Amino acid sequence: MKMMIRMEIECTKYCVALILMRSILICSAAQVTAMFAFGDSLTDPGNNNYLNSLAKANYMPYGVDFYGGLPSGRFCNGKTFVDYLGELLGLPVLLPYTSPFATGRNVVRGVNYASAAGGILEETGRHLGERFSLSAQVVNFESTLSEVRSQMGDEEFSNYLAKALVVMSLGSNDYINNYMLPSFYASSYIYTPNGYADLLISRYTRQILALRSLGLRKFLLGGIGPLGCIPNQVAAGAAPPGKCVAYANNVAAIFNQRLQSLVDDLNAKYNGTIFSYGNTFGAFVDLLNNANTYGFNVTDRGCCGIGRKQGQITCLPFSVPCNNRKQHIFWDAFHPTEAVNQILAERAYSGSPSDCHPLNVQQMTLM
């Protein structure tokens, strides 16, 4: 066990070193001053490596296609959505907030605060141990902000924040690791699906506006994907063969409708601030329905996992993943492959209004 932990630490250090070396080579002509990411395991770059949590991915074969082929803590075979979006914006790879390297000049181009099992609600994911909820991630951002402020004058700092991009992608755990786990959480007994979505949006809005009050002016708010189509849900046998779990998709759709309406309301209320809704659900369903067009031929099972659809138990240490990873939509029981993440990032960056409403990320950078 000690040898395994030591190897995990060395792998993490090696990956961080590779990331920093690559970042030195990035062109300085970035389209935004920085990017700050808030989220869960879909975008966690390794923050949970430093927490007492069961939700960790700092072991092989996670990261098999990442820099050096070693685990960084990302819940993927390679890069996340945030990694790819950063590349499109000309930014270096964002370091996790908990990394010992996330200090000084290394944080000026942005930081990733996402935490596996974290959600909009404080209690979400508690059965998995330590994690950063959204409110905790915002507090962590304020800590970074103090460090950045010390490196700039007042006017430069104000312009820096106004031209930075905030990427927020939360809510999945509030369903998978809260509302849809009645044996651990009482939320489904207390709230109807509509009432629960309203609760989430209310809490979400509070944190979004807290970030705006600090000076940030460009927000990409990603919706929840089709939860009923992930291997973990399909493996539970709650849907006919070849179909997704309708209930899980329906509750996700309710949240997404509320989130898009929130974007419209915020844009109408706050002049000088841009809010965009990333239609993750729609983009993901398009990939599932037209998989062959995008080069995928495995749509309903994980590349790495155990049990039915490789989705009953997620990817365990030193498991042997599939070889045709670029043809799989799902990497493990819950998360997409990096091939999917790249497509989702490209659609958020330059897609149509059906992908990103009312503006895509590229359009946001020009305003």
Whether residue 328 lies in the annotated active site: no
Q: Which of 172, 319, 335, 357 is catalytic?
A: 335
CATH numbers and ranges of domains, the chain: 2-365 (3.40.50.1110)
Strands lying side by side in the sheet with 356-357: 95-96, 110-112, 35-39, 165-169, 218-222, 274-278, 356-357
b/e string for 147-158 if b means 16 or more Cβ within 10 A? bbeeeeeeeebe
The one-character DSSP state at 37 is: E
pTM here?
Answer: 0.93
Q: 357 an active-site residue?
A: no
Q: How far apart are CA 367 and CA 22, in angstroms?
A: 29
Answer yes or no: 355 catalytic. Answer: no
Residue 134's pLDDT is 98
Which residues of the chain are modeled with pLDDT < 70? 1-28
Tell me which residue has tokens 């990817």: 315
Q: What share of the chain in percent tops pLDDT 70?
A: 92
pLDDT at residue 6, as a whole number: 47
Q: Which of the 8 DSSP states describes residue 130?
A: -
For residue 19, the model assigns a pLDDT of: 59
> By three-state DSSP, how is residue 47 classified?
helix
Kindly name the residue from 44, 174, 332, 355 that is annotated as catalytic: 332
Q: Which of 358, 306, 341, 299 is nearest to 45 (CA)?
A: 341
Are 336 and 364 in contact by the 8 Å Cβ rule? The answer is: no
Q: Give the model's pLDDT for residue 4.
A: 43
For the chain, the helix, strand and coil percentages under 3-state DSSP, each to the nearest 5: 45, 10, 40
**Contact (Cβ atoms closer than 8 angstroms) between residue 168 and residue 114:** no
Pairing of β 218-222 and β 35-39: unpaired
Q: Which of 41, 53, 99, 133 does the annotation list as catalytic?
A: 41
- DSSP states of 157-171 as a string? HHHHHHT-EEEEE--
DSSP secondary structure code for residue 129 in this structure: B
Contact 328, 322 (CB under 8 A): yes
